[in-house]
Structure 1
Amino acid sequence: MRDGYRGGAVLAEVVRSGFTESVHRGSVVVLDAGGAPVAVRGDGRGPVFPRSSNKPLQGVGMLRAGLRLEAESDLALVCASHWGEDVHVSRVEALLDAHGFAGADLRCPPDLPAGPVPREAALRAGEAPTRTRMNCSGKHTGMLLTCRAAGWSTDAYWDPAHPLQRMLRATAEELTGEPVAAVGVDGCGAPVFAFSLTGVAQAFLRLVHAAPGSFERQVADAMRAHPRMVAGTGALDTVIMTEVPRLLAKGGAEGFAAVAVPGAGAIALKIDDGNPRAIPAVLRAALGTLGVDWTAPPSPVLGGGETVGELSATW
């Protein structure tokens, strides 16, 4: 999306032994509880692919199309970029089996777990990549189940012209308040929609401020109640939703992140070089502008096994 997204502001820098070693450029938008801008650095209006940060919006679309799940944690899994831990894979497989599907019916490619601990365990055990281990298998399972509930064919359910994807697009456009600027193919094979950072922040704000029981609120509540299902042990989304009451978070590939706190506001950010290491520091600073206190995980720069510098937000 370089044709529309300009980026460019310095959001974080790495300082080693008193010298700036490198900088992370990108854009961040901070909205207050009413949706008004509190701070904008870089490009808040150009379109960019939010990648997996789109998933909560797609989850709302699936519910609107008829998806119903008995367990709230399964809705969190549908909106997840899970780390492929056993708790995630077992639920994906159970949902597929309960509705007459199998892992082979998923469009997402075979993969090993995304989380470092389960990935190492899989490698040590000689485990082959599977579709259910892939971090988007919850979303793809939700898509299959939604097609079944709506009476749609599951053939090519990932095609942008499929009724499912048209529903998800319309829902995302409504929640962001913007038309889709471009449609791409995400890493999992499903369509990914481009919006501005401002639009994504507005959408997350709508999720946390929605009326109790609404589809939007069901998604927000499920993710916040089951943060481990959204990512995994030690993952940023899981950690921040566990540590900050009522906060909704969903990161995306290539340095994208979005969060919202009811009554406080919402944030969407994109790191231009795609390196996620700058995200915690920038999120902490952005949350501070909304009066939300969060102690981000430390970001030390190591040399010879010792801390010789640090990464910090500068915007």
Structure 2
Amino acid sequence: MPTPVTSAAFRPAPYLPQDLPQHTVLVVASRDGLAESAHYGSAIATAPDGSTLAAAGSPLAPFYPRSSLKPLQAVALVRAGLQLPARLLALTASSHSGAAQHRDGALEILEMHGLTPDDLENSADLPYGQAEREDWLRAGGSPTQLAQNCSGKHASMVATCRINGWPVKGYLDPAHPLQQLVARTVIDLTGEEPFGLSTDGCGTPLFSLTLRGMASAFGRIASAASSAKGGGANDGAVAPLSAEAAVGLAMQQHPDMVAGERRDVTELMRRLPGAVAKDGFEGVQLVGLPDGRAVAVKISDGGDRARMPATVRVLESLGLDPAPSSDLGVLPVFGGGRPVGVLQATDFLS
């Protein structure tokens, strides 16, 4: 793997327009009929075999999947022997809002394996969800590693180290056995060699991949979960779940642990039974479907508000309607406290 980019090694470089992905306009915000803002980006829908069904922009340009990588990391941990109740495995793949059930769940994972919050090496932060953050502050809370939205993943990472007899300290080092396993799993699920390696906001190694590769991985996870739900019995015996199926089923069964109440990713999975969905900072959204198809979206400017409208448009092109009440695919633009416009996707796949 390439040497990770850290704050000590990073050197800013000038970028010319020809060096950037050729994104296209995915989402427009209009105010009283005038296009006020436009969000560029790229998107892809893949078939179960990973081939392209629809695309826009530059879906083969390397990008950082950020927290949408967590389900793939969770698969690696399960392959390494991690066994958790479904709600805690869903938390492993989460960017949670920091509600009590999320913080308590991360602590439960640690305590199950004889560990404490002192063993975590993720960054400290306030809860991610607005309501959860306000409640936390009113109660006198301050930034902690358990409140940080990646604490479920980190708790499961140190638990996996304990299970395998690997050093807990330094588990975020790209050369650590845990992270080497994650790297091999990412390559297996995406079918891609990472274009580069960096460091995510919480401190974990972060791979640059393509939208097509990430979509293929999510399609595999969702279809594995669907196959597991469909049976698997042979002469009365049920085959053990694959790691992909275990992670996919956990996320489907506990979408509130993957994100939280009032979060669009949680709502999307509730509206699309059998789907596996995960967002990521800088405008990233992945959705795997039970038949193995998948959708991947990257918003060029990192604007989070454009992520779901673009995703809904691609899902609609596949014959799915996750936003019947138009609160995911079309969002209001307000003026004086009343709607005066909309944020909605363009016909970028036409």
TM-score, normalized by length of structure 1? 0.96
Output the amino acid matched with 1:242.
R
Q: Counterparts of 1:94 and 1:294 in 2: how far apart (Å)?
A: 33
Offset of residue 231 of structure 1: 0.5
Residue 301 (structure 1) aligned with residue 321 (structure 2):
no
Offset of residue 188 of structure 1: 0.3
Offset of residue 134 of structure 1: 0.4
Alignment map for 1:31-50 (pairs within 5 Å): 31-50=46-65
Q: Say whether the 8 Å CA contact 1:13–1:21 is kept in structure 2.
A: yes
Output the amino acid matched with 2:245.
R
Q: Counterparts of 1:259 and 1:127 in 2: how far apart (Å)?
A: 34
Q: Counterparts of 2:174 and 2:312 in 1: how far apart (Å)?
A: 36
Report SS of the residue matched to 1:299.
Answer: strand
Alignment map for 1:70-149 (pairs within 5 Å): 71-149=85-163
Change (3 A) 1:290 1:34: farther
RMSD of aligned Cα (Å): 1.6
Q: Counterparts of 2:111 and 2:207 in 1: how far apart (Å)?
A: 30
Report SS of the residue matched to 2:53.
Answer: strand
Report SS of the residue matched to 2:261.
Answer: coil
Residue 225 (structure 1) aligned with residue 253 (structure 2):
yes
Q: Say whether the 8 Å CA contact 1:79–1:138 is kept in structure 2.
A: yes
273, 277, 281: which one aligns with 1:249: 277
Report SS of the residue matched to 2:131.
Answer: helix
TM-score, normalized by length of structure 2? 0.87
For these two proteins, the number of residue pairs brought into alignment is: 314
Alignment map for 1:58-69 (pairs within 5 Å): 58-69=73-84
Q: Counterparts of 1:4 and 1:153 in 2: how far apart (Å)?
A: 41
Deviations 1:45-84 (A, max 9, x none): 1110000100011111111111112x11111011110110
Unaligned 5+ residue runs, structure 1? none
Residue 52 (structure 1) aligned with residue 80 (structure 2):
no
Q: Say whether the 8 Å CA contact 1:227–1:238 is kept in structure 2.
A: yes
Q: Counterparts of 2:172 and 2:50 in 1: how far apart (Å)?
A: 32
Report SS of the residue matched to 2:70.
Answer: helix
Deviations 1:218-276 (A, max 9, x none): 11110011000001011111110111111110000110010011226210110011111
Output the amino acid matched with 1:29.
I
Report SS of the residue matched to 1:245.
Answer: coil
Offset of residue 96 of structure 1: 1.1
7, 16, 28: which one aligns with 2:31: 16
Change (3 A) 1:194 1:4: farther
Q: Say whether the 8 Å CA contact 1:4–1:46 is kept in structure 2.
A: no
Q: Counterparts of 1:38 and 1:5 in 2: how far apart (Å)?
A: 24
Offset of residue 286 of structure 1: 0.4
Q: Counterparts of 1:36 and 1:52 in 2: how far apart (Å)?
A: 24
Q: Say whether the 8 Å CA contact 2:251–2:258 is kept in structure 1.
A: yes
Residue 25 (structure 1) aligned with residue 63 (structure 2):
no
2:286 aligned residue: 258
2:238 aligned residue: none
Deviations 1:133-167 (A, max 9, x none): 00000000010011111111112000000000000
Residue 153 (structure 1) aligned with residue 162 (structure 2):
no
Residue 215 (structure 1) aligned with residue 243 (structure 2):
yes
Report SS of the residue matched to 2:137.
Answer: helix
Offset of residue 111 of structure 1: 1.1
Q: Counterparts of 1:121 and 1:234 in 2: how far apart (Å)?
A: 15
Report SS of the residue matched to 2:209.
Answer: coil
User: Which 4+ stretches in 1 moved above 4 angstroms?
Assistant: 1-5
Change (3 A) 1:264 1:55: closer
Q: Counterparts of 1:34 and 1:173 in 2: how far apart (Å)?
A: 16
Output the amino acid matched with 1:300.
P
Q: Say whether the 8 Å CA contact 1:264–1:290 is kept in structure 2.
A: no
Alignment map for 1:249-288 (pairs within 5 Å): 249-263=277-291, 265-288=293-316
Q: Counterparts of 1:206 and 1:263 in 2: how far apart (Å)?
A: 9
Unaligned 5+ residue runs, structure 2? 1-12, 229-240
Q: Say whether the 8 Å CA contact 1:5–1:43 is kept in structure 2.
A: no
Residue 238 (structure 1) aligned with residue 266 (structure 2):
yes
Deviations 1:86-140 (A, max 9, x none): 0111111122122221112111111111011110111222211111000000000
Identity of aligned residues (%): 42
Report SS of the residue matched to 2:35.
Answer: strand
2:208 aligned residue: 194
Q: Say whether the 8 Å CA contact 2:285–2:308 is kept in structure 1.
A: no
Report SS of the residue matched to 1:259.
Answer: strand
Report SS of the residue matched to 2:341.
Answer: strand
